[in-house]
Structure 1
Amino acid sequence: MNKTVPTKPYPDQKPGTSGLRKKVPVFQQQDYAENFIQSIFDSLEGFAGKTLVIGGDGRYYNREVIQKAIKMAAANGFGKVMVGKGGILSTPAASHIIRKYKAFGGIILSASHNPGGPTEDFGIKYNIGNGGPAPEKITDAIFARTKVIDSYKIADFADINLDVIGKQTIAGMIVSVIDPVEDYAALMEELFDFGAIRNMISLGFRICFDAMSAVTGPYAKEILEIRLGAPNGSVRNFMPLPDFGGHHPDPNLVHAKELYDEMMGEDAPDFGAASDGDGDRNLIIGKGIFVTPSDSLAILAANANLAPGYSAGIAGIARSMPTSGASDRVAEKLGIGSYETPTGWKFFGNLLDAGLATICGEESAGTGSNHVREKDGLWAVLLWLNILAVRGESVADIVHQHWAAYGRNYYSRHDYEGVDTDAANGLVEALRGKLDSLPGTQFGNLTVATADDFAYHDPVDKSVSKNQGIRILFEGGSRVVFRLSGTGTSGATLRVYIERYEPDPNRHGLETQEALADLIAVAETIAVIRSRTGRDTPSVIT
């Protein structure tokens, strides 16, 4: 039986770059999750009788909201729901399922790389029929609906057993509980030369993959250990836990420090990697060398033709604006398109759908291709392994040869987390007020060439996205970028991106923060970060 339940709006349900993210107790408020899910359905048309994919990263409150979403999908007229066993679907796997089975769309329950637990983070986002995150016109409509919603529809039936694969029909809707790994693993076998990787591993190549007690554990276990033959134990922390084992599932040098320290040791494995809460980010570390996400994007694009799925070459490379320009030089050498978009994977969707780009990346450890419409952590790991297997060289050798051929982009991101929201907004507004006066200004040996607030003009749908980050570009190619992140749930996160291009191979061996020291000082001078935020140092440096 379907019920229509009266409700009242909540004023704080504006989706960010990746859906609605709040603390678990916020989502546990009466009708809070229901309001947002109904607002999604109310903002869509033509889904009667169609398929909806539902899954999440296994974090705390995942199962409860999945049950709500299934019952609401039935009451709103969907014909079928596909849900991962145990409520598990990595974000890239969910994108693949939507695309493979031509679903109308999907609801993904995740707060990505943010912590999980009873008082930590939770999230809901909607993905459209191409498998990618909903574009702004849909998220804007969802937010508008949340402000006036007065009821939601929900079917009254017992909770679905999410732990048994199979189909059943309830309230006129088919509920199909599927293996969350099988379809995704099969896709990876199509894209990559598993035989070459398997052979490399059989000859003693050692892998260490840290799943961070998050969603990629089952995927990495199946692919790396079972299908590719990596020894048992190569995949660590592979059981997805509601609180990620009390750790922060963000694959960076702070939260994956144990892996980093091991990879810098004398008896390090040949290849180290990690992925995040929902499986869309990656960390790549070779023996004795960390590969920045920006460099990883460039190197993967330059060598993608070594993998069967990309043997015909790639159409173009897209990167988020804060990501270093390393991939631009690869695109130039390959004679293909190069695109600079705002942060947020949804901005790559049009380029991928139009065939303009094949490989995309963000400096925040996200890399992917046209195989899905999300960034994909395991995909990046497998492409690296494919390249290593074909070239027969170490990660360090490949990185150093790339720098020699293209030049090195020294690059770092400084995050100031949990900054008072008013203080963060004030800092950005003050920067905007300085933009017109900065060009021509000298700071030591650095001269400002241009300064702007980045606006993106989509070449496909001609839409314009303004205020996407403040850029200070210096003569010679260096730059500093300031941006407020939309992925946190407490206060504001100020992100400062610092980049210097160095074409001289004799200067490629500097320590990154040392190479960027003068730019870091200029960033402080221009933005007055210390006095405006009350922070002497960043929370995280990557």
Structure 2
Amino acid sequence: MHVVASHPFAGQQPGTSGLRKKVTVFQQPHYLENFIQAVFTAVPALVGATLVVGGDGRFFNLQATQTIIKMAAANGVAKVIVGAGGLLSTPAASALIRQRHAAGGLILSASHNPGGADGDFGVKFNSANGGPAPAAVTDAIYAASLEIDSYRTVASADLELDKLGSQQIAAMQVEVVDPVADYAELMASLFDFAAIARLLAKPDFKFVFDAMHAVTGPYAEEIFTRRLGLPSQQLLNCQPQLDFGGGHPDPNLAHAGDLIAALAGVGEFALAAASDGDGDRNMVLASELFINPCDSIALLAANAHCVPAYREGLAGVARSMPTSRALDRVAAKLQLPCYETPTGWKYFGSLLDAGKITLCGEESFGSGSDHIREKDGLWAVLFWLNIIAVRGLSPRQLLAEHWTEYGRDFFSRHDYEGLPSDDARSLLADLHQPSQPLVGRRWGALTLLQLESFTYTDPVDNSRADKQGLIFTFEDDSRAVLRLSGTGTSGATLRLYFDRYSSDSAQYWLAPQQALAATIAAISELLQLEQRFGRHHPDVIT
């Protein structure tokens, strides 16, 4: 074992999705090593235990994997399980932690952020339940990073990470596993693969999947082509690349041009889907129809009886606070508990571990269930295919049926990216303590009835999370939510979420921006973003 002298780096506080910085930041001498040592210091349960390691294959993934393995050996870890080539999707890593009873996992990803030498990189520690570490653990990691004066590693040649099987480094065993096999088996145990295969074989049904040159490519090839018989030409961009093919591995309408083009001219009985950099997010499209993630999780819950794993019923459901209230309406009709949590999958993990919920989702293209403790992109796509196979309805027909029964919650998110961090924080501070009353005043065509800062108390452990976003409620019961995102690496990303309910069937097929126009205009006048930041419109609208 070698002890290497070091010094603290500023800003190594993990967010909801771990530590994310530019690749060039992680490449600084001792930077990655410091953070990994802080993890080992803060999580003593890793000594003598098993650690899962893998990532989304972006630039710096392999080098970081080798560094982590050597440091694990020096810090008393008994065994490391690593995906071949250093690859593991985030859902697969969560499943592997749970299946192998590991003490935790280190997942190397910056999710949907751009890759490449000039792109982003990230490291996230997941706990023994397979989910993102709770605040107490991330706080301890950050505290350790502030006091570090050295880190431990071993002098060893790099391991052969493309060779399946066991290897040894110092006193530690390293098992290189197929990153796809166990996850594919888990999916086969949840869904009716025979019914999905019959659906994909129908000449009048078209399915296309875009892996966006990210980690889900090998998973899609194994599941959709080898197990379900989908022609390989209906899979797009399935070769993982260090820079995601120069694209942005974010499954939304702004970045999925190949998928949208593949749907051109296809009939109504069609489905297309994409996943993000590390495989935990999903976008689902039908012909000329974007299926909003808020509608998606609500429809999955309403049709869960179609899927073998959920046929016996759901314990409950949960959504993040910015997500529309469509899921609440399904829960009310099915008489299920429905929880509203802050943004961040770790809050769902507490409810899942306690058996309070079975399905959960958030507006940022994430949905999942109690099978793991992460959001799961391919799981959501298979869920949709299973429902279509059983119901025999097109996605458009399923949505029309759903809205007829429950009404429609129009939803949109507006992202303002790369804002000066101090100015963005100043905006939120001003709103928490406004100099003049905002409630009761008319903004645009709407009167603001309530302004609240969302606070959450976990019903399992009574932990409290304050200032998780500002909720503006208007006279027509429409909402706007304002929060700062913790997933960017440059400046601040301000996110605005809008939702409005309608039970008027004549409105159901309106474009969301049209249906939400009054609420968007009211918030624009109230926040004065153009005057504050010089931004005439959002960078991304979803």
TM bucket (normalised to shorter chain) is over 0.9
Q: CA deviation at 1:447?
A: 2.5
Q: Which stretches of structure 1, 4 residues or more, deviate above 3 A after TM superposition? A: 264-269
Q: CA deviation at 1:506?
A: 1.7
Which runs of structure 2 are paired with 1:123-142 in the superposition (5 Å)? Answer: 123-142=122-141
Which runs of structure 2 are paired with 1:315-330 in the superposition (5 Å)? Answer: 315-330=315-330
Structure 2 gap ranges (5+): none
Q: CA deviation at 1:437?
A: 2.5
Contact 2:269-2:395 within 8 A present in 1 as well: no
Contact 1:62-1:87 within 8 A present in 2 as well: yes
Contact 1:207-1:269 within 8 A present in 2 as well: no
Aligned AA for 1:46?
A
Structure 1 partner of 2:429:
429
What is the number of equivalent residue pairs in this alignment?
541
Contact 1:201-1:230 within 8 A present in 2 as well: yes
Structure 1 partner of 2:76:
77
Contact 2:70-2:169 within 8 A present in 1 as well: no
Aligned AA for 2:529?
I
Contact 1:436-1:451 within 8 A present in 2 as well: no
**In the alignment, structure 1 residue 170 sits paired with structure 2 residue 160:** no
Structure 1 partner of 2:236:
236
Aligned AA for 1:338?
C
Contact 1:265-1:288 within 8 A present in 2 as well: no
Structure 1 gap ranges (5+): none
1:257–1:268 CA distance, 2 compared to 1 (3 A): farther
Contact 2:102-2:128 within 8 A present in 1 as well: yes
Structure 2 distance, partners of 1:140, 1:64, is 26
Structure 2 distance, partners of 1:199, 1:472, is 47
Structure 1 distance, partners of 2:46, 2:25, is 29
Structure 2 distance, partners of 1:375, 1:304, is 17
Percentage identity across paired residues of the two chains: 55
Structure 2 distance, partners of 1:149, 1:390, is 56
Q: CA deviation at 1:435?
A: 9.5
Which runs of structure 2 are paired with 1:194-273 in the superposition (5 Å)? Answer: 194-204=193-203, 205-266=205-266, 270-273=270-273
Contact 2:42-2:144 within 8 A present in 1 as well: yes
Structure 1 distance, partners of 2:261, 2:475, is 37
Q: CA deviation at 1:17?
A: 1.1
Aligned AA for 1:305?
H
Structure 1 partner of 2:62:
63
TM-superposition CA deviations, 1:172-199 (whole Å, max 9, x none): 1110000000000000000000000111
Structure 1 partner of 2:373:
373
Contact 2:268-2:396 within 8 A present in 1 as well: no
The alignment's C-alpha RMSD in Å is: 1.2
Structure 2 distance, partners of 1:12, 1:372, is 30
1:435–1:65 CA distance, 2 compared to 1 (3 A): farther
**In the alignment, structure 1 residue 458 sits paired with structure 2 residue 477:** no
Q: CA deviation at 1:269?
A: 7.1
**In the alignment, structure 1 residue 21 sits paired with structure 2 residue 11:** no
Structure 2 partner of 1:334:
334
Structure 1 distance, partners of 2:266, 2:100, is 47
- Counterpart of 2:132 in 1: which secondary structure? coil
Structure 2 partner of 1:91:
90
Q: CA deviation at 1:272?
A: 0.2
Aligned AA for 2:409?
N
Structure 1 partner of 2:5:
6
Which runs of structure 2 are paired with 1:347-386 in the superposition (5 Å)? Answer: 347-386=347-386
Aligned AA for 2:287?
K
1:494–1:444 CA distance, 2 compared to 1 (3 A): closer
TM-superposition CA deviations, 1:219-257 (whole Å, max 9, x none): 011001110011121111001101000000000000013
Contact 1:18-1:487 within 8 A present in 2 as well: yes
Contact 2:443-2:526 within 8 A present in 1 as well: no
Structure 1 distance, partners of 2:137, 2:480, is 32
Structure 2 partner of 1:37:
36
- Counterpart of 2:434 in 1: which secondary structure? helix
**In the alignment, structure 1 residue 486 sits paired with structure 2 residue 479:** no
- Counterpart of 2:413 in 1: which secondary structure? strand
